[in-house]
Amino acid sequence: MDNEPQFFETNAAPGVVGQPLSRVDGWAKVTGQARYSAEYNQLPGLVHAVLKTSDVAKGRVTSIDTSAAQRQPGVLAIFTHENLPKLAKTPNNPDDRKAFASSPMSFFPMASDQVHYAGQPVAMVVADTLEHAQYAATLLKVNIAAEVPVSSYLDPKATSYVPKNVKGTAGVTKRGDAQAAFRSAPVQLTATYHHATNHHNPMEPGATTAHWEAPDRLTVYDTTQGVSETQKTLAAMLGLATEQVRVVTKYLGGGFGCKAWVWPHVVLAPLAAKAVGRPVKLVLTRPQQFTGMGHREEQEQTLRLGATKEGKLLGIVHEKTSTTSPWDDYAETNSRIINMLYALPAFESTYHLAKASVMTSTSTRAPGDMPGSFAIECSMDDLAYQLGLDPIQVRLLNYAEKDATNGHPWSSKSLKQCYARGAELFGWSKRNPKNGQTRQGKLLVGYGMATASYPVHNSVGNARVRLYADGRAVVQAGATDLGTGTYTIITQVAADALGVPPENVRFELGDTILPTTQWSGGSTAAGRVSSSVYLAAQEVWQKLIKAAVMDKKSPLYGAKAADVVMEKGRLQLKADPGKGEAFGEVMKRASLSDVEGTAQGRYGSVYKEPGATADANMNKEEKEAAAGYSMHAFGTHFCEVHVDPELGTVRVARWVSVMSAGRILNPKTARSQVIGGAIFGIGSALMEQTVRDPNLARYTNADLASYHVPVNADIPNMTVDFIDEHDPHVNAMGVKGIGEISIVGVTAAVANAVFHATGRRLRSLPMTPDKVLEALRQPA
Amino acid sequence: MNDFSYTQAASAKEATGRLKDQAQAAYIAGGTTLLDLMKANLQEHPQLVDINLLPFKGIEQTKDGLRIGALERMSVVGEHPLVVQAFPAISQSLLLAASPQLRNMASIGGNILQRTRCGYFRDAAFPCNKRVPGSGCPAQTGDNHNLAILGVSDSCIANSYPGDLSVALAAFDAVLTLENAKGKQRRVPLTEFYLLPGTTPQKETVLEPGELIVAVTIPTAAHTQRSTYLKVRERSSYAYALASAAVGLDVQAGTIRAARVALGGVGAQPWRSREAEQALVGQPATDATFRAAAAAALRGAQPREHNRYKVELAQNTLVRALQQVAAG
């Protein structure tokens, strides 16, 4: 698609793209006009569903006495495994699952008497008010013949195995002979890293409002990162055609991966609505959020790193052990980033899983790359200290000029500039090369840094642009804005592409009646949707140019279409910009009230492959081989921590992130993305952990009072900068995503700073005071 | 949550009378503890009696010391000039607790009566001897990372009082004024107000059914003025203490004349340590003295698998607090 117009060439003039435009949806949000999925309360006859979940982690439901609940005022229906309407297709059936665009686990609760995890739904009460439903649910007497659960891979009862596949990656992968490279390496480092279970905990919990507008027409207002994937999956599970299901998500209060999937409650709400013949709203409680939409699994990784005496990597052997559910071989693929981050000649990776009485874990901000970066970036830090090198120096020494996993050049990579800029902004040169040497009163002061990277995932989607003669425009794509700024950046792109001010553009998203596009996840939305909209606007221009050159009254009459360009809403000759006219004039004479353009935008290696179809499971290696480029965003984090050696507390005192991610559409929303990711990572580094009781396999801290996320007082002023990058291979806009990369490397940066402060390496997250004190008891 | 009726009592007599008629009723002031417990179905009350109109107000110096009405709000007390100047530890214990929104609502009496944050107590799906006597205590061999190491029993290892204020009150000899249904008042030292779990962890205080907390009185002394409350937690704000220390010292010519020590986060109840005080009084105000006092305070600790670190953390917290007060 070499003749496809590119943003770089056709719109070089400065516009609103790249400007720190404030959120176009900000006013609606702060005034409460932004309607979230649990706020469609005006639906006629709306009633409420409440889930009753299992107290125990394993067993069989022997009986559910619903009589007391049934007698409560307002109760319309009570569903258990005995009377829940059957699904047309169910995740329990592997053949059925193939029809799902989005299914997070091979299990659907309440389809049988089986209880496989604490918090599993075992009954659902529907009542006229939320209070009636909640109270009736407390009156259900659920009897479960409890069995002894397995709490995690650490449970002595757990047995581990090497799966054939995890998330499309083989259980064992080898590139070169990493074992031999490690064995013969002059410098050998072996370390094991532990990660606690983490939960996404978006502010907005999972919520689904289901409205059957007709027996064959279902509208669902859902908290989903992908309306289209949810539409297809719901249709399959409910036995409807795709077009018979409409999914709406106008606003999302955070997703972080947990809203990327059709979880049980998303299906239960329409089942209940159908049965009672009224719209049903189902909102997860905060405790249910902990067992309703997945989590990041607890895990440990052992990294064996071999290097030369000069510090050049020779080979890495990586093993990960983690907990999975009774039905799925699921693990975050930590190995990906370890394999590609440096010029690494040989790599081997093995995944070990142990099945436990938990639901399947799921995508959580930068799945795989986030924990993987902790292991590789702490080990690189170890290598630097062991050899007396600066941590940046050891990374530059192993700088990957091309992708070692496939030999391809990068579509763009500005990591060296990120290191340099970050070091400058942070004042890295003031770092004492020795650890454990810097004090501020009683506090130990440490500097740490780490590399970040996140791949460009292939993604394709459509958009429609309608330009009116009065200069206003409506732009549409069935994308979702997770709260990250999609409304705003796409408004900016459309404004520039149409040559109209951003206040003239209304961007509509979050609805399956709009042009179909993929989910917002894996940092694909900005690159894909911006490209779709940009290209759709080009189609508008092509139509207008055609109209102008054929219009005898136009100054452009008779010109070759290829010689005409659009500049700030004006059609003019490329060679003679004075000759031209405003697009409104053309439309007026042609009696066109509006002109519409549609286009498919492509992100990643599919960009240059017009025949390719979008598929989240598409083999990235094959696509990249065809494209000839490896595509990743890169960046770096620097931080200063203060460690209290007597009280064990770690506080982050300064933070600098520098990212290179192609064209930055809006430095304000981009900065918010980066600080959000870094704060998410600081939480994982220092405080976030969900604990399952080792005997009962039930979470002991499933609420936001005891599952600690950072508060404002934990976070210093953060400095964020971007390296300008021109990437003509990644998509028409040269945009790479920044949502995921911003968390990658964060935990390592903090741990490396703690090492610099204390001389002790903490390899178990979160680094809570107990672990810090324990480490400080050990010799440096 | 169950349905309940709500009435506002105009006087203590009316309030206690309501609870006499309906034993399962509960008083509500700020509601920051009670409503949480009711929403989680951990406590059920058919009736709530609002006591906010009762005259249990005022923050004043009396001949017995500083008297704080039980219905004063945490934020008001914590920021009151009398408290800030003469009882810094008490002010700090209030302002380091909860969030501004909660401090604006929560009453002093309610704070003293807040219930444990033990995850097994807070989730009705778990067995818990405190909630359902005889059902067991999975915390003993489970997630006991945040739980108590002093005064605990095989029945319960919860920090029955998880907060901060009562730790400072325990240190500084606070006395509670209680009033029963007959309008009779009695005075109970805070250190005798809470009960250790023993085999009856469901019994948490000496408060009789229907009895109200009217006020708390803290005697003024040199050691209340020279005092501090140090709180260690996993994040910088809005978290319960892993360990905390309320200390007050009267140091003259380098020698400690009087000392008050209480620990939070580590005891089954706010943990007044007279052992630590004995190790301090008459000794020079040095790190060695502070270390010895800290060791004395934790001598009886009975840690479990995941809260062993608290033995060291609590000692370090106490030493740091003593150092700060001695230096100030």
List pLDDT tens digits, range A649-664. 999 999 999 999 999 9
Which residues of A fall within a CB distance of 8 Å from B119?
Answer: 691, 699-701, 706
For A256-275, the pLDDT digits (tens) are 999 999 999 999 999 999 99
Between the CA atoms of B141, B144, B148 and B153, what dihedral angle is there, to the nearest 10 degrees? -20
Residue whose C-alpha is closest to residue A732's, from A476, A548, A460, A475? A460
Q: Kindly indicate the confidence band of residue A12, based on its pLDDT and cuts at 50, 70 and 90.
A: very low
Indicate the domain borders of chain A: 7-34+459-603, 365-456+626-777
A243 touches chain B (CB under 8 A): no
Measured CA to CA in angstroms, residue A169 lies from A175, A368, A491, A627 at distances of 13, 11, 37, 21
Q: For residue B267, list its beta bridge partners.
A: B150
Name the residues of A annotated as catalytic. Answer: 740
Record: contact B309-A770, CB cut-off 8 A: yes
Which residues of B fall within a CB distance of 8 Å from A769?
Answer: 232, 234, 242, 309, 313
Helix, strand, coil: what percent of chain B each, to 5?
30, 20, 45
Give dist(CA A279, CA A267) in Å, integer: 13
- The pLDDT assigned to A168 comes to 83
For A553-580, the pLDDT digits (tens) are 999 999 999 999 988 889 999 999 999 9
Q: Is the pLDDT of residue B196 over 70?
A: yes
Quick check: A779 and A664 in contact, CB under 8 A? no
Quick check: A158 and A355 in contact, CB under 8 A? yes
Residue whose C-alpha is closest to residue B163's, from B265, B14, B89? B265
Q: Kindly indicate the confidence band of residue A9, based on its pLDDT and cuts at 50, 70 and 90.
A: very low
Which residues of A fall within a CB distance of 8 Å from B309?
Answer: 648, 769-770, 773-774
- The pLDDT assigned to A780 comes to 85
Q: Which are the contacts of A248, defined by CB distance < 8 A and separation ≥ 6? A: A37, A219, A220, A221, A222, A227, A510, A511, A512
DSSP-assigned letters across all residues of A609-630: -TT----TT--HHHHHHHHT-B
Quick check: B268 and B196 in contact, CB under 8 A? yes
Please tell me the class of the A365-456+626-777 domain: alpha beta
Give dist(CA A639, CA A648) in Å, integer: 18
Mean per-residue pLDDT for A32-45? Answer: 96
Q: For residue A166, list its beta bridge partners.
A: A169
Give dist(CA A562, CA A549) in Å, integer: 10
Q: Which are the contacts of A515, defined by CB distance < 8 A and separation ≥ 6? A: A461, A462, A463, A464, A476, A477, A478, A532, A598
Residue B285 CA neighbour count, 13 Å, CB half: 21
CATH of domain A7-34+459-603: 3.30.365.10
Residue whose C-alpha is closest to residue A47's, from A121, A122, A133, A124? A133
Which residues of A fall within a CB distance of 8 Å from B122?
Answer: 703, 706
Token couple for A395: 């990374």
Q: Which are the contacts of A224, defined by CB distance < 8 A and separation ≥ 6? A: A230, A247, A249, A252, A259, A260, A262, A266, A480, A519
- The pLDDT assigned to A360 comes to 98
Of B232, B235, B306, the CB nearest to A647: B232
The reply to whether A365-456+626-777 shares the fold of A7-34+459-603 is yes
Token couple for A622: 């094959």
CB atoms within 10 A of CB A611: 6
Quick check: A117 and A150 in contact, CB under 8 A? no
DSSP-assigned letters across all residues of A146-162: E-----STTSTT--EE-
- Is it true that the peptide bond before A766 is cis, omega within 30 degrees of 0? yes
Mean per-residue pLDDT for A48-76? Answer: 98
User: Of B39, B54, B69, which residue sits at a domain end?
Assistant: B54
Helix, strand, coil: what percent of chain A each, to 5?
30, 25, 45
The question of ipTM being above 0.90 is answered as: yes
Q: Give the per-residue SS3 of A324-378.
A: ECCCCCCCCCCHHHHHHCCCCCCEEEEEEEEECCCCCCCCCCCCCHHHHHHHHHH
Phi-psi region of A523 (alpha: psi -120 to 50; beta: other; left: phi over 0): left
Measured CA to CA in angstroms, residue A533 lies from A22, A457, A478 at distances of 20, 19, 12
Matching residue, tokens 């604490």: A118
Which residues of A fall within a CB distance of 8 Å from B41?
Answer: 138
Record: contact B237-A131, CB cut-off 8 A: no
For A452-472, the pLDDT digits (tens) are 999 999 999 999 999 999 999
Mean per-residue pLDDT for B273-280? Answer: 98
- The pLDDT assigned to A568 comes to 84
Give dist(CA B7, CA A778) in Å, integer: 59
Quick check: A678 and A746 in contact, CB under 8 A? yes
Record: contact A693-B143, CB cut-off 8 A: yes
Give dist(CA A264, CA A208) in Å, integer: 10
Quick check: A612 and A624 in contact, CB under 8 A? no
Record: contact A647-B319, CB cut-off 8 A: no
- By C-alpha distance, the chain B residue nearest A706 is B239
- By C-alpha distance, the chain B residue nearest A689 is B234
Query: Percent of chain A scored above 90 by pLDDT?
Result: 93
Record: contact B232-A701, CB cut-off 8 A: no
CB atoms within 10 A of CB B319: 23
For B1-19, the pLDDT digits (tens) are 889 999 999 999 999 999 9
For A591-647, the pLDDT digits (tens) are 999 999 999 999 998 887 654 444 444 455 655 566 689 999 999 999 999 999 999
Range of the domain at B288: 222-327
The number of distinct structural domains making up chain B is 2
| CATH number of the domain encompassing residue B258 | 3.30.390.50
Q: Is the pLDDT of residue A40 over 60?
A: yes
Of B142, B239, B312, the CB nearest to A773: B312
CB atoms within 10 A of CB A121: 24
In a domain, B15, yes or no: yes
- The pLDDT assigned to A635 comes to 98
Residue whose C-alpha is closest to residue A647's, from A497, A563, A773? A773
In a domain, B142, yes or no: no
In a domain, B118, yes or no: no
Quick check: A8 and A729 in contact, CB under 8 A? no
Task: Select from A131, A197, A646 the residue whose CB has the most chain B CBs within 10 Å, as the one to mutate to test that interface.
Answer: A646
Catalogue the long-range contacts made by B58-67 (C-beta closer than 8 Å, 24 or more residues apart): B58/B215, B59/B83, B61/B86, B61/B220, B62/B217, B64/B175, B64/B217, B64/B219, B65/B217, B65/B218, B65/B219, B65/B220, B66/B217, B66/B218, B66/B220, B67/B215, B67/B216, B67/B217
Quick check: A687 and A709 in contact, CB under 8 A? yes
For A503-545, the pLDDT digits (tens) are 999 999 999 999 999 999 999 999 999 999 999 999 999 999 9
**What b/e string do you get for A492-517 counting C-beta neighbours within 10 Å, with b at 16 or more?**
bbbbbbbbbebebbebbbbbbebbbb
